[in-house]
Amino acid sequence: MKKSLIKLLIFIFISIPSFQIAEIKALVPYYYQPTKKNLKKEGLSIGKSAYQLLYFGQIKDSLNLAKLAVKIDESNETLWTILAEAQIANDLYEDALHSLTNAQRINPKMSELYFAKSTIYLKQEKINKAKIALEEGIKINPNNHKAIFQLGNVFLMKKEYEKAIQEYKKAITIKADFWQAINNIGLAYFELNKINLSIINFKKAITFEENAEPLLALASCLIQENIDEAILLAKKALNKDPNYVNQRYREEQLWGKNIQKYTDKLFQNAQLKEFIISAKSKINQRS
């Protein structure tokens, strides 16, 4: 009985037309298993899309895509960096620090990761941690003039003016026309009551970039020496950037107490009254 049944089943199977066999195969599910290489490629593609969304200001969508990219490939420091940038844009600073730490585990010699951490620490007003992160990054990339300049800014915030000047000078040796560093040397000297050295540096900064900041800073230096020139410079500065009429804004640009005091005195001059009113009006219109 068993043998006859087996023979019958074999006969039936052999007798099935080829098109019916194809139909039977079609019922068997087919699974695509991507290779590790394809997964990495897909993760990077999604990461690039996340970065593009971030660029166009779609910060929440960018964050979601960046998270997905990292889930696909956790071994890519670039994806962790993109995620960190998206997290920073969404004010998720601690999450961003965690992402950057993961990136550092993968590539500890990537100086940009340390510089990115320093930026977050500065936003959190953790000055000492920002200093350490910058110094670690500069050890890896000692010719990054922007990072050295930022380290100078940290010392300026800490009121360690001589150290700040030292770092700014290092930045200038790398990039001679780095007017921002030259300008900040002037700010540091002003807090050290070395006004003549401030004047020299503000004038030098202006030769590279006739920016509102060194123009107004120089004007503040010249209150006693040449009030007429100081007023002309102040007018030019406020025309270029009315934000400098605001003491808080100047403070954000790391102006110290001494130069703020001189600038406030300059703004009390009757000849600047209309320019100050106009500058404040322009700020209000923008906001």
Give the mean pLDDT of 186-209: 98
Contact present, 138 and 169 (Cβ < 8 Å)? no
More confident residue, 277 or 23: 277
Q: Using one digit for the tens of pLDDT, what is the confidence trace for 118-136?
A: 999 999 999 999 999 999 9
Q: CA-CA distance, 69 to 32, in Å (whole number)? A: 20
How does pLDDT run across 9-60, given as a tens digit for each residue?
333 333 444 444 444 445 555 555 567 677 778 888 998 999 999 999 999 9
What the chain holds in terms of domains, given with CATH numbers, is: 177-287 (1.25.40.10)
Whole-structure pTM value: 0.84
Q: How far apart are CA 189 and CA 184, in angstroms?
A: 9
Q: Which pLDDT value is given to residue 34?
A: 62
Cβ–Cβ contacts within 10 Å for residue 208, how many?
15
Render pLDDT for 61-77 as a digit per residue (tens, 0 to 9).
Answer: 999 999 999 999 999 99
- How large a percentage of the chain has pLDDT more than 70? 87
Question: Tens of pLDDT along 94-120?
Answer: 999 999 999 999 999 999 999 999 999
pLDDT at residue 285 is higher than 50:
yes
Report the C-alpha gap between 101 and 89 in whole angstroms. 18
Tell me the mean pLDDT in the region 152-169: 98
Which tokens belong to 206? 């202006």
